[in-house]
């Protein structure tokens, strides 16, 4: 039987590339659309090294309707789409709101239009726990209320979810999974693919690994006077390979749906870690000392949030297999392996 084709926008990016590997592992044929504005083309060779298969790649901006149509024309048998392509830096989005809305919202709108005209009815959308804002209770389920966005980035995720809900309502049989990611960390065990932040990292773990490598002088812990066990913020850090596998499960769940559907799923481990716990675990598993200091709070930080992932477990038959220790080992192995 021919392999099912899945179009992966942003397939050379951090979560996208790991998902391409898992799609191959599960017997799908991923087709990558990526314009490499936030990713590197050599990642494609690495994907081939890991999987022994070469994905088809189109260097296209997925908000370019004609180019997208050409891809769908060439592959009339695309079964579904996983839409990663988007900007994702909260701070940058504060300075560039138009750029964020234009890229993140417009590309989704174009994609939906093209999918409709080619009768492709399965879509996995990259959302974020940012939709919950600062929740009343730190552990969130999918029915925890969505809050007003505090950044244009967050707004594009909320608007994206709304657009998808409305589009499913208006459609005959569109099936959508909204995957709300918590904090992805780690890298593929092979250390051939991983996160590649451009410039100074905003996120904790790449900042840690770059400090350990000597690229950054010192990590600053953003605040230690929060009302948590050690005063630092709590997040749910999930290994990127576990996260990638959830996309494969989401695709197979969509395949089983007879009627139109738009469902959200939390993708986290269900366990929170403080910033200091992450630093200590990183030092312990990698047997090194990290240069860090305590600094002031970072504006806009959520104090504490972690996932209740039980819906993803029950409905998608998915759960995490890697620990935070594994993820921090793999992040460091990857950092040392980056050319």
Binding site for ligand UFG (CB under 6 A): 88, 90, 128-130, 154, 183, 202-204, 207, 219-222, 233, 235, 275, 298, 301-302
Least separation in angstroms between residue 275's CB and ligand UFG is 5
Least separation in angstroms between residue 302's CB and ligand UFG is 5
Least separation in angstroms between residue 43's CB and ligand UFG is 20
How many CB atoms sit inside 10 A of residue 123's CB? 26
Residue holding tokens 């709070």? 297
Q: How far apart are CA 94 and CA 301, in angstroms?
A: 14
Q: Which is nearer to ligand UFG, 28 or 207 (CB)?
A: 207
Question: Which residue is catalytic, options 100, 153, 181, 322?
Answer: 153
DSSP 263-303: EEEEES-S--EEHHHHHHHHHHHHT----EEEEPPPTT--S
* Helix, strand, coil percentages, rounded to 5, for the chain: 40, 20, 40
Q: Which is nearer to ligand UFG, 224 or 252 (CB)?
A: 224
Using CA atoms, how far residue 53 sits from 27, 113, 118, 303, in Å, is 11, 30, 27, 43
Least separation in angstroms between residue 58's CB and ligand UFG is 26
Q: Which is nearer to ligand UFG, 144 or 167 (CB)?
A: 144
Q: Which is nearer to ligand UFG, 120 or 205 (CB)?
A: 205
Least separation in angstroms between residue 233's CB and ligand UFG is 3
Using CA atoms, how far residue 240 sits from 158, 162, 237, 323, in Å, is 22, 26, 9, 11
Active-site residue 153, yes or no? yes
Q: Which is nearer to ligand UFG, 207 or 334 (CB)?
A: 207
Residue holding tokens 């969130």? 140
Nearest to 125 by CA among 174, 180, 77, 78: 180
Q: Which is nearer to ligand UFG, 5 or 18 (CB)?
A: 18
Least separation in angstroms between residue 154's CB and ligand UFG is 6
- Burial pattern 139-165, b for ≥16 Cβ within 10 A else e, equals bbebebebeebbbbbbbbbbbbbebbe
Q: Which is nearer to ligand UFG, 222 or 311 (CB)?
A: 222
- The residue whose Cβ lies closest to ligand UFG is 233
Least separation in angstroms between residue 147's CB and ligand UFG is 11
Task: Identify each DSSP E strand in the chain by its residue range.
Answer: 5-9, 29-33, 56-58, 78-83, 122-128, 139-140, 175-181, 183-185, 219-222, 234-235, 237-239, 261-267, 273-274, 292-295, 306-307
CA torsion, points 8, 143, 140, 177, in degrees to nearest 10? -10
According to DSSP, residue 115 is labeled: H
- What is the set of active-site residues? 153
């Amino acid at each position: 039987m021919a392999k099912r084709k899945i179009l992966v926008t942003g397939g050379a990016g951090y979560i996208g590339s790991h998902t391409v590997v898992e799609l191959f592992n599960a017997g799908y044929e991923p087709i990558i659309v990526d314009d490499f504005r936030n990713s590197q083309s050599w990642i494609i060779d690495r994907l081939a090294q890991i999987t022994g298969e070469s994905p088809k790649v189109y260097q296209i901006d997925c908000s370019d309707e004609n180019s997208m149509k050409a891809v769908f024309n060439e592959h009339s048998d695309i079964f579904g789409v996983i839409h990663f392509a988007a900007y994702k830096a909260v701070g940058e989005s504060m300075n560039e709101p138009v750029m964020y809305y234009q890229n993140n919202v417009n590309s989704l709108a174009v994609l939906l239009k093209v999918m409709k005209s080619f009768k492709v009815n399965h879509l996995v959308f990259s959302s974020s726990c940012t939709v919950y804002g600062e929740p009343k209770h730190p552990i969130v389920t999918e029915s925890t209320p969505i809050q007003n966005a505090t950044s244009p980035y967050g707004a594009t995720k909320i608007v994206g979810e709304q657009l998808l809900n409305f589009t499913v309502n208006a459609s005959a049989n569109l099936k959508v999974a909204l995957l709300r990611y918590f904090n992805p960390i780690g890298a593929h065990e092979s250390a051939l693919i991983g996160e590649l932040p451009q410039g100074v990292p905003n996120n904790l773990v790449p900042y840690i690994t770059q400090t350990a490598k000597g690229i950054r002088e010192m990590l600053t812990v953003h605040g230690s006077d929060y009302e948590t066990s050690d005063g630092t913020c709590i997040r749910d850090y999930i290994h990127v390979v576990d996260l990638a596998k959830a996309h494969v499960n989401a695709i197979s769940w969509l395949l089983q749906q007879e009627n139109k559907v738009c469902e959200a799923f939390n993708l986290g481990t269900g366990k929170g870690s403080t910033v200091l716990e992450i630093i200590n675990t990183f030092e312990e598993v990698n047997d090194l000392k990290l240069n860090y200091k305590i600094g002031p709070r970072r504006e806009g930080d959520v104090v504490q949030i972690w996932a209740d992932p039980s819906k993803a477990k029950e409905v998608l038959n998915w759960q995490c297999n890697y620990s935070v220790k594994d993820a921090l080992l793999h992040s460091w192995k990857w950092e040392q392996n980056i050319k």
